Amino acid sequence: MTELLYLRDAYLREFDATVIAVDGASVALDRTAFYPTGGGQPHDTGMLGTAAVVEVRKDGDDVWHRLEGPVPAPGDAVRGVVEWDRRHELMRTHTAMHVLCGVIWNAYGVPVTGGNMEPLSARMDFEFDPLPEGFGPRIEELVNAELRADRPIEVSFIPRSAAVLDRELIRTKVSLVPEHVAEVRVVDIVGLDKQADGGTHVRSTAEVGRFRVVKTESKGKGNKRIRIEVLDG
Ligand SMILES: [Zn+2]
């Protein structure tokens, strides 16, 4: 089982770990700061010892790191270094998606149905039918106002039984968190958006930078797609 260090400290760039299993060019560690692909957020890259980490994926309770370079052996102590520029861009982008969700919920009462991101760009789907008049410019203005407001972003861990009763979490379908999960990680953009979430985020909305709507498109009835990008403040 791999301890997920990024859940408690998204700013951790370097860490020491022990190899618990090896499969070809992939190694599982007892702890990692590398984010594995999931929840719409792509995996981190970086270095493990002198090898490059080119893919990170979660399999059950283990995180596997696919390497290009020398592969360590089970029991070896290794040092991991996360490629920080890419990770921080993903943290900014991921946080921008939360702000977008909160703004759209507050302005229109419409939930998100899906999304995916790359560093500094993302798409998100919402249950609109049709898209409201002047939607793109209005959303861009509202999101940028929230970024400038520099809202703090707090991460906490609460019992599942408490999370399913939290009215602010209900719209993000916290009830879908599997029954066996005892504790839910909650990411709260204070006063704007609260979600049960395992991704990495920045500490305040101002750190995101600036937000731009690239385009909006219809993906069918009750499903409208928004493409966005994140720019330096
Ligand atoms: Zn998130």
Segment 199-219, tens digit of pLDDT:
999 999 999 999 999 999 999
What are the φ/ψ torsions at residue 107 (nearest 5 degrees)? -85, -35
Average pLDDT, the chain: 94
Strand partners, 56: 65
CA 97 – ligand 1 centroid, Å: 8
3-state secondary structure of 52: strand
Q: Per-residue pLDDT tens for 111-156?
A: 888 899 999 999 999 999 889 999 999 999 999 999 999 999 999 9
CA 134 – ligand 1 centroid, Å: 27
For the CA atoms of 132, 136, 137, 141, the dihedral, rounded to the nearest 10 degrees, stands at 100
Tokens of 169: 């979490």
CA 69 – ligand 1 centroid, Å: 32
Q: Using a CB cutoff of 5 Å, list residues around ligand 1, an ion.
A: 197, 199
CA 1 – ligand 1 centroid, Å: 23
% pLDDT > 90, the chain:
82
pLDDT the model gives residue 181: 82
Contact 224, 218 (CB under 8 A): yes
CA 155 – ligand 1 centroid, Å: 10
pLDDT the model gives residue 33: 98
pTM summary value: 0.95
CA 200 – ligand 1 centroid, Å: 6
Question: Of all helices (H) and strands (E), which one includes residue 154?
Answer: strand 153-159
CA 220 – ligand 1 centroid, Å: 26
Entry field: residues in the chain: 233
Tokens of 218: 């219809």
CA 127 – ligand 1 centroid, Å: 19
Contact 206, 233 (CB under 8 A): yes
User: Is pLDDT of 222 > 90?
Assistant: no
Q: Determine if the peptide bond prior to 130 is cis (ω within 30°).
A: yes
Alpha carbons 126 and 112: distance in angstroms, whole number: 4
